């Protein structure tokens, strides 16, 4: 790990990291690099996904979260072109990516801090001429039923193929989607199943799926996630579904959940101070 130069951060004393990074409206003028992990980090040299492209539209523009590392923006554009090949899809609607310099968000996500995450709406993007106002008010669609144990009638083969295309991309580390979707893909895939390993079941993620890219080259300070277990992960997803349908009894010895800790700048990698103070 490369050490960062000492920077006077006294002006930020007492302020939450999400307040500091959420206040930045543009990226740092630095070489693209990731510092820290997906849920405790920041990134330098971000770029903005254009609000509208030939096969995508960025949604909820008022949040100013259509920023990421160049590699992530390139991935989103590539996936949008593949999605446009599916029936009923002219591309994709892109939800939250990252703040201009990453870091903890003012609201919502615990991750999305390093410019390597992107949420893709489940709603087929058949209209790519939505106004800014429309993009604030339109909603995605849920693709789950039975609390995520199964897919509903909104789920189509196109969803399967778009998720498959994303998972087969070498830049992608993993993709989060609700358990029933993973099981549905496991049951319907008849070809190469290696890509299913990257599809990981997680709570929520039925209005969108969450793509996470791996640590890129040139970012020695990026903290990678542990690799998922080998195999297609289908048995694990089925266990998630079984537990939704027949919840196990609560463990009386389980510790009480700890309240979510708010991060300060000092809790982030030291390089994040330079990202924050960069022009």
Residue 10 three-state SS: helix
Model confidence at 2, pLDDT cuts 50, 70, 90, reads low
Residue 1 has pLDDT above 60, yes or no: no
DSSP the chain: -PPPPP---GGGTT-BHHHHHHT--S--SS--EEEEETTEEEEES-EEPPSEETTEEE--GGG--BEE-HHHHHHHHHHHHHHTTSTT-SSEEE---B-TT-SS-SSS-S---SS-EEEEESS--------HHHHHH------EEGGGTEE-TT--HHHHHHHHHHHTSTTEEEEEE-HHHHHHHHHH--S--GGGGGEEE-SS-SSEEEEEEPPPTT-TTB-PPPPPPSS--HHHHHHHHHHHHSPPPP-TTSPPPPPPPPPBGGGS-THHHHHHH--
Distance CA 155, CA 78 (A): 22
Model confidence at 189, pLDDT cuts 50, 70, 90, reads very high
Average pLDDT over residues 40-65: 98
Residue 6 has pLDDT above 80, yes or no: no
Model confidence at 3, pLDDT cuts 50, 70, 90, reads low
pLDDT recorded at residue 7? 72
Model confidence at 256, pLDDT cuts 50, 70, 90, reads confident
Average pLDDT over residues 50-69: 98
Fold of the domain built from segment(s) 10-241: Muramoyl-pentapeptide Carboxypeptidase; domain 2 (3.30.1380)
CA neighbor of 117 nearest in space, from 41, 204, 62, 60: 41
Average pLDDT over residues 65-80: 98
DSSP 77-94: HHHHHHHTTSTT-SSEEE
Backbone angles phi, psi at 16, to 5 degrees: -70, 150
| Residue 42 · residue 275 · CB < 8 Å | yes
Classify residue 28 by its DSSP letter.
Answer: -
pLDDT recorded at residue 152? 98
For the chain, give the mean pLDDT. 95
Distance CA 265, CA 41 (A): 10
Of all residues in the chain, the percent with pLDDT exceeding 90 is 87
Q: What is the pLDDT of residues 105-157, one digit of tens each?
A: 999 888 999 999 999 999 999 999 999 999 999 999 999 999 999 999 999 99
| Extents of the domains making up the chain | 10-241
pLDDT recorded at residue 188? 97
Q: What is the pLDDT of residues 208-251, one digit of tens each?
A: 999 999 999 999 999 999 989 999 999 999 999 999 999 999 88
């Amino acid at each position: 790990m490369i050490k960062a130069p000492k920077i006077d951060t006294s002006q930020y004393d007492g302020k939450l990291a999400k307040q500091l990074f959420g206040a930045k409206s543009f990226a740092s003028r630095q070489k693209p690099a990731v510092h820290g992990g997906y849920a405790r980090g920041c990134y330098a040299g971000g770029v903005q996904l254009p609000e509208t492209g030939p096969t995508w539209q960025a949604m909820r523009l008022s949040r100013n979260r259509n920023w990421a590392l160049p590699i992530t923006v390139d991935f989103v554009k590539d996936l949008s072109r593949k999605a446009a090949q599916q029936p009923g899809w002219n591309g994709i609607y892109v939800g939250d990516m990252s703040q201009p310099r990453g870091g903890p968000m003012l609201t919502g996500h615990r991750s999305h801090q390093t410019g390597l995450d992107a949420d893709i709406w489940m709603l087929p993007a058949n209209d790519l001429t939505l106004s800014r106002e429309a993009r604030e008010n339109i909603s995605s669609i849920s693709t789950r039923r039975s609390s995520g144990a199964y897919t509903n009638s909104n789920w189509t083969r196109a969803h399967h193929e778009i998720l498959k295309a994303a998972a087969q991309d070498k830049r992608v580390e993993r993709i989060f989607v609700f358990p029933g979707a993973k099981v549905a893909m496991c049951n319907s895939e008849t070809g190469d199943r290696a890509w299913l390993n990257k599809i990981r079941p997680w709570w929520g993620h039925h209005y969108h799926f969450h793509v996470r890219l791996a640590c890129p080259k040139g970012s020695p300070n990026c903290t990678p996630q542990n690799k998922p277990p080998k195999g297609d992960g289908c048995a694990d997803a089925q266990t998630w579904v079984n537990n939704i349908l027949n919840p196990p009894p609560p463990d009386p010895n389980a510790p009480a959940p700890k309240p979510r800790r708010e991060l300060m700048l000092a809790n982030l990698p030291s390089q994040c101070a330079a990202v924050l103070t960069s022009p």
